[in-house]
Amino acid sequence: MNSDSDLNLLKESARKAASLVGRYDFVRVLTHYDADGISAGAIVASALLRANKGFQLTFLKGLNESFEYERDELLIFLDMGSGYPDVISSVEADVIVLDHHLPTGKINAKKEFVHVNPHLYGFDGTYELSASGVAYFFANELGNNRDLSSIALVGIIGDKQKLLGPNEEILKSGIEWGVIEEKPGVCLHSGKLRDVLSRSIEPYLDLYKKDDELESFLKKAKLDGEKEFDDLSIDEMHRLANAVTLRLLKMGAYEGVIEQIIGRRFILKNLPIVNAHMLTDIVNSCGRAGAMGVAFGILAGDKSFVEKAVRINYEYTTEILEELAKRKREVKEGFCIRYLVMNDAPSASSMATTFSRYLMSDKPIVVINVKNGKAKVSARTTEKLSRRVNLAEVMKIAAEKVGGRGGGHRVAAGANISPDKIDEFLKEVDRLCCAMLA
């Protein structure tokens, strides 16, 4: 069990980071391109702006990518750094790392260094605090930035975290501050129910282009497919929640997803898209589509980006839904894993997440996407299996064995390897998973 003092220690470290910022007029911020990284970037950017600091924000796919800086600058790494001690150790400038990935190895900083990571204070960074949450605590050491809790929630949802520990404190703070509202119901997008259900990927309901099944789903639940999700009565929402739960159980979805998506949903009152779940998916798809600036614009409160972001999300979702239907049959069985190798697919990570959570939850899944001569790996498993198998470690060891890099979280990790090493890499991943699951 963690005590309050653990969180106080984390806040103290965030305070040290804020005081280091105090020495600079300009800060270089580098963040990850997923929903948690973009949210962390938006929180830190707002807080710096309010503190009258100049900054430049860069989105990276990870620390495998190179980045530029000047020696007299302060660099803030968001949602990355803890798992790449060699890269951080090589930076010849003052550094702050605000991350929640499992720290691996010792960081030997060349200059001033502050490392804020929940794992260092006894919290589980996979479930209890994301990078956007760490950024939120840091922002509140720079000034009163409690209104940014709504953005932190986007990162929390994006990384499929739980509303426990420090995350719960952020949620409470947002509700008290009047920027987050909790409502009962199902976490689905706003829009016409028929469209919302058929196009949902989080949760994935497997109703895309299955019109007869969708109609029978609606009929059994006594729901009007033309009705707007946001206009459902309490009774209708209740029936929808029951029908979604039943469908997920029948599909063989991991039981843990049900408690994440059924029960309560959140309204973000100070952001241009108020449905928290929908905003998270939109931010995620903008990131995956390389339009991080559009997602950032929305999180910064600019309504003019909404139309473009919704369009990007529509296109991205369609690609993923088509790809899921097509690739389901191509998933192969290893001894202790399942795997899928794709060429030029839209995203390995969304596919891996959906397969693991909704369709094949009994073994870890590894999805590899080969694009532009590089192989990008996404590995996922369920929380239950992650008590025995640590995918962060598996990815790190197997990738390094074939000359690549990997890391992440126990439950969701990734790697970058060379395409000609895929077979050797997969064999090693399978071997490591078997050893951990034995």
Contact footprint for ligand C5P (CB under 6 A): 32, 34, 62, 64, 83, 101, 349, 378, 405-409, 412-416
CB of 416 to ligand C5P, least distance (A): 4
For residues 125 and 165, which CB has a smaller minimum distance to ligand C5P in the complex? 125
Q: Name the residue nearer to ligand C5P (CB basis): 130 or 260.
A: 130
CB of 87 to ligand C5P, least distance (A): 11
Count Cβ neighbours within 10 Å for each residue of 361-388 and write b for 16 or more, e otherwise: bebbbbbbbbeeeebbbbbbbbbebbee
**CA pair distance 207, 204, nearest whole angstrom:** 8
We find the least distance from the C-beta atom of residue 190 to ligand C5P, in angstroms, to be 25
Task: Tell me the C-alpha distance between 95 and 32, whole Å.
Answer: 16
Q: CB nearer to ligand C5P: give 101 or 247.
A: 101
Calpha distance 208→406 (Å, rounded) = 33
Contact 151, 132 (CB under 8 A): yes
Q: Which two tokens stand for residue 323?
A: 């790809």
- Nearest to ligand C5P of 99, 147 (CB atom): 99
CB 364 within 8 A of CB 381: yes
Judged by CB, which is closer to ligand C5P: 158, or 297?
158
Nearer to ligand C5P, 8 or 90 (CB): 90
What's the closest the beta carbon of residue 389 comes to ligand C5P, in angstroms?
15
Q: Hey, how many other C-beta atoms are within 10 angstroms of the C-beta on 251?
A: 14
Q: At its nearest, how many Å lie between ligand C5P and the CB of residue 171?
A: 22
CA angle 319, 303, 46 (to 5 degrees): 100
Kindly report the backbone phi and psi dihedral angles of residue 186, in degrees, each rounded to the nearest multiple of 5, phi listed first.
Answer: -110, 145
* Shortest CB 61 distance to ligand C5P, Å: 8
Least Å distance, CB 374 to ligand C5P, is 11
Smaller CB separation from ligand C5P, 34 or 430 = 34
Angle at 410 between CA 285 and CA 10, to 5 degrees: 85
Task: Spell 101-139 as b/e; 16+ CB within 10 A means b.
Answer: bbbeeebebeeebbbbbbbbbbbbbbbbbbbbbbbbbbb
